[in-house]
Chain A
């Protein structure tokens, strides 16, 4: 029976679930100004950053967790039961090469199917590995340095390039932006910093693998990418997390700044632990991602494949300030079991001639609930702004839900804004057509689902596209509607 096979496949276990036992230097749970001072001290941060964090914290205290608008249901997070700092114990100077890296850590990446050195060498990818909250190893630094590209952990950037960090940090996502951004601003412990100078095309794709490992540690990543005039960079972010029973909070902030003619491509494959079949456990993924096309003809492109997390709250957005700037958002989101995802994008058209494209594909199975929530806003000055939005949802099983809440706020008559959305299940006729040509039901479903997502996958860098297709097949293979 098709439905039985579907059951079977839907029950596929989280293949990346394991736990690496590394001693950690962890703060006791709780959040207060002392904790923030401690984090700042541990990171050897300058005075201004501590003040900045404390201001964010004080503002955060006045804010309420947003529970009323998102289409999500989850128990409230007790922010005092989370530990805000966790660093793998390392030698004073830290590892200088792969040989010095904790073998257990390398083993973890082996299990994930990411042979770090091989991958780095063969694919020419520099990996700034974030394990829990501290960068452990960075590769290909010299090659990047030759091109003048700065790629390091944000803590390192604070120490070595304070003027750049201070100039851009919090300018795209202000501290007061939202509850989770304020929390992140107060307690962020790590993340990446990229600066591509004027006219430089980054010689390789930059990549970071995030891992959550310690039980009860939230991760508060802060990523800042700045592309100066005419510069180009492609950044890859991928996530997997070990199987844990308790919900873990992840509240990252990603800021992108593109000056004149700059081009930033940001790709994500997210496969955090989604909780078990009963909806127990899993990661809370409350992320604020925003890019600003500050210069004319700048371009920011977000591509994401979201398959994990118990609860996702994520809206990678573009502020199109420059003339003729371009924003793009390509997304595939897959939810299964009891997963909930409220995701989408915002395109704010400020500059004349700014253009944006939104392609969102949602696949909802099991008892999961998935929501696309998007905003296209055209301000009065955005002459000739153009947006095209397409969001399609595929339903697998009669217990799941797929929802679409697209907002359009248009205040310029020369703007052209289009939105279209469809929701349906895999057609019996489509399946029949494939099967009568000798393709098994399972393969047919895979084919149809992959075809459904093709528009997004083709935007991914090659190695990510392979990973994404594999992920999709693992999550849904043979899930026949």
Chain B
């Protein structure tokens, strides 16, 4: 079984014992779990705005033997990083060693394997207080476990001063769209430090669907900077689930940038399991045309003396639709915590729509929690202030929009990423917003 006419029929196909017999016992179990859960619907609070109907009507195939990369322009597509510890390339979820740069490093080891060989277990121990509203993508993760062909395991054991660069390419593999399923498991050992860049992009305009499930575990005192850059074609569909498990005094920062994709859904679940854990989530999305970008973040303060800060910004143009749902959960007994969340959205056109819900759920009293959410367009007074200084109106609007994005971009320490995104934003702005000659 390597293809399906309608993705929506997958549960009934996988429920067939004959199909399950072809899988390993763990995969068959995952298939059963997937059949039990079924596809989420908009009646599910976590999927209120994310309608899967159109996606489920499409046909997909997932035969890795069909995946080949003909494009010689590949290197022009990825980031011009000055140095990278390792670069691993995945084409439609399948590892492409010929395009990867696999330098040996003492501080980092990795292994490309399959979910069949190394099934992903729960992201964190069961005794850590759970968030009932987590696991929104449980069905997709079960599917990934059952049918996925690739799993990357990364282990960081020391202080790595050059980034680990993962490239996920979406290409037109055959006439039928490709369903790519991949898993990523990252472990940062005690006291280790690393930077991880995940770059999702398309060659041409395939209408694939990719699901990436990732688990990141930070041991005591570990530090990880995570860059997630999604520049898929506006025809591609993408879902991602990221589970971060943080132990004592660990430090996780995330820059989550979304520019492409026709229909995109993210779930970022962070568990602060031990005192001293610190997380900072920054995000920026820019949707235009008829793009749909949905981001759900959940921060679970499962221990006292933990800190979280979150800042997500959205820019929406034309008939794009954006969703942001930021959830902060403070478990009972998690005293002396601090949690701050901010979400700001800029609407450039009347057809654009934003649905945002910053949630706080707090069961402890010695806390400092705040959240804010704003939606609007550019401040006309600010536009006027720039014009009064001789900057023409279109450029004033361009500059102000860039300034809006810069609050997130300024925290990006890698110049190549910073420039790339700034240029991408400038390129996507409508005619009344001009940044020519500024960048």
- Whether the Cβ atoms of B375 and A421 lie closer than 8 Å is no
Complex partner residue of A408 from B366, B368, B373, CB under 8 angstroms: B373
- Whether the Cβ atoms of A413 and B371 lie closer than 8 Å is no
A232 to B402, CA, bound (A): 48
A407 to B323, CA, bound (A): 11
Selected A-B contacts with CB under 8 Å, 17 pairs: A380-B350, A395-B367, A397-B365, A398-B364, A399-B332, A401-B362, A403-B359, A406-B358, A407-B355, A413-B347, A417-B374, A417-B376, A418-B372, A419-B374, A421-B360, A423-B369, A425-B366
* Given pairs A405-B359, A411-B352, A420-B371, 10 additional interface contacts (CB within 8 A): A400-B365, A407-B356, A407-B357, A409-B353, A409-B355, A412-B350, A415-B347, A416-B374, A423-B360, A424-B369
A414 to chain B, nearest CB (A): 6
Of A393, A397, A413, most buried by chain B (CB within 10 Å of CB) is A413
CB of B45 within 8 Å of the partner chain: yes
B159 to chain A, nearest CB (A): 37
- Whether the Cβ atoms of B357 and A406 lie closer than 8 Å is yes
What 7 pairs across the A-B complex have the smallest Cβ distances? Answer: A413-B347, A395-B365, A416-B376, A423-B369, A404-B360, A411-B353, A419-B373
Which residues of chain A from 131 to 182 have a CB within 8 Å of any chain B CB?
Answer: none
- Whether the Cβ atoms of B369 and A408 lie closer than 8 Å is no
A402 to B350, CA, bound (A): 35
Q: Mark A22-33, 1 if CB is under 8 A from B, else 0.
A: 000000000000
B44 to chain A, nearest CB (A): 10
Q: Which residues of B contact A403 (CB under 8 A)?
A: 359-362
With A420-B371, A421-B372, A425-B367 in contact, is A402–B362 under 8 Å at CB?
Answer: yes
Which residues of chain A from 417 to 437 have a CB within 8 Å of any chain B CB?
Answer: 417-425
In the complex formed, the residue of A with least CB distance to B378 is A413
In the complex formed, the residue of B with least CB distance to A419 is B373
Q: Which residues of B contact A396 (CB under 8 A)?
A: 365
With A408-B375, A421-B370 in contact, is A413–B349 under 8 Å at CB?
Answer: yes
A400 to B373, CA, bound (A): 25
In the complex formed, the residue of A with least CB distance to B353 is A411
- Whether the Cβ atoms of B355 and A416 lie closer than 8 Å is no
Q: Which residues of A contact B370 (CB under 8 A)?
A: 420-423
A408 to B326, CA, bound (A): 12
Complex partner residue of B356 from A398, A408, A425, CB under 8 angstroms: A408
CB of A35 within 8 Å of the partner chain: no
- Whether the Cβ atoms of B365 and A481 lie closer than 8 Å is yes
Chain A: residues with CB nearer than 8 A to chain B? 69, 71, 380, 393, 395-425, 481
A31 to B373, CA, bound (A): 45
- Whether the Cβ atoms of A415 and B376 lie closer than 8 Å is yes
Complex partner residue of B355 from A380, A395, A399, A408, CB under 8 angstroms: A408
Q: Which residues of B contact A416 (CB under 8 A)?
A: 374-377
Q: Which residues of A contact B365 (CB under 8 A)?
A: 395-398, 400, 425, 481
A410 to B350, CA, bound (A): 10
In the complex formed, the residue of A with least CB distance to B354 is A410
A-B contact count (CB 8 A): 119
- Whether the Cβ atoms of A413 and B357 lie closer than 8 Å is no
With A408-B373, A413-B347 in contact, is A401–B363 under 8 Å at CB?
Answer: yes
- Whether the Cβ atoms of B366 and A398 lie closer than 8 Å is yes
A409 to B367, CA, bound (A): 29
Q: Which residues of A contact B351 (CB under 8 A)?
A: 380, 411
In the complex formed, the residue of A with least CB distance to B329 is A403
Q: Which residues of A contact B368 (CB under 8 A)?
A: 424
Complex partner residue of A410 from B345, B348, B363, CB under 8 angstroms: B345
In the complex formed, the residue of B with least CB distance to A424 is B368
Interface SS, B side = strand
B366 to chain A, nearest CB (A): 6
Complex partner residue of B352 from A408, A413, A419, A422, CB under 8 angstroms: A413
A252 to chain B, nearest CB (A): 26
A413 to B351, CA, bound (A): 8
Q: Which residues of B contact A481 (CB under 8 A)?
A: 365
Of B357, B370, B377, most buried by chain A (CB within 10 Å of CB) is B357
In the complex formed, the residue of B with least CB distance to A426 is B365
Q: Mark B237-256, 1 if CB is under 8 A from A, else 0.
A: 00000000000000000000
Q: Which residues of A contact B309 (CB under 8 A)?
A: none
Q: Which residues of B contact A419 (CB under 8 A)?
A: 358, 371-374
Which residues of chain B from 30 to 55 have a CB within 8 Å of any chain A CB?
Answer: 45
Q: Which residues of A contact B297 (CB under 8 A)?
A: none
Complex partner residue of A421 from B332, B350, B356, B371, CB under 8 angstroms: B371
Of A397, A404, A414, most buried by chain B (CB within 10 Å of CB) is A404
With A69-B45, A413-B347 in contact, is A422–B369 under 8 Å at CB?
Answer: yes
Q: Which residues of A contact B375 (CB under 8 A)?
A: 408, 410, 415-418
- Whether the Cβ atoms of A401 and B350 lie closer than 8 Å is no
A400 to chain B, nearest CB (A): 7
CB of B202 within 8 Å of the partner chain: no
CB of B217 within 8 Å of the partner chain: no
A416 to B358, CA, bound (A): 17
In the complex formed, the residue of B with least CB distance to A400 is B365
Q: Which residues of A contact B354 (CB under 8 A)?
A: 408-410
A481 to B367, CA, bound (A): 12
In the complex formed, the residue of B with least CB distance to A397 is B365
Q: Which residues of B contact A421 (CB under 8 A)?
A: 358, 360, 370-372
- Whether the Cβ atoms of A395 and B356 lie closer than 8 Å is no
Q: Which residues of A contact B364 (CB under 8 A)?
A: 395, 398
Q: Which residues of A contact B311 (CB under 8 A)?
A: none
Q: Mark B324-360, 1 if CB is under 8 A from A, else 0.
A: 0000000011010000000001011111111111111
Complex partner residue of A406 from B350, B366, B373, B377, CB under 8 angstroms: B373
- Whether the Cβ atoms of B362 and A413 lie closer than 8 Å is no
A381 to chain B, nearest CB (A): 9
In the complex formed, the residue of B with least CB distance to A69 is B45
In the complex formed, the residue of A with least CB distance to B371 is A421
In the complex formed, the residue of B with least CB distance to A68 is B45
A419 to B374, CA, bound (A): 6
A155 to chain B, nearest CB (A): 39
Q: Which residues of A contact B350 (CB under 8 A)?
A: 380, 411-414
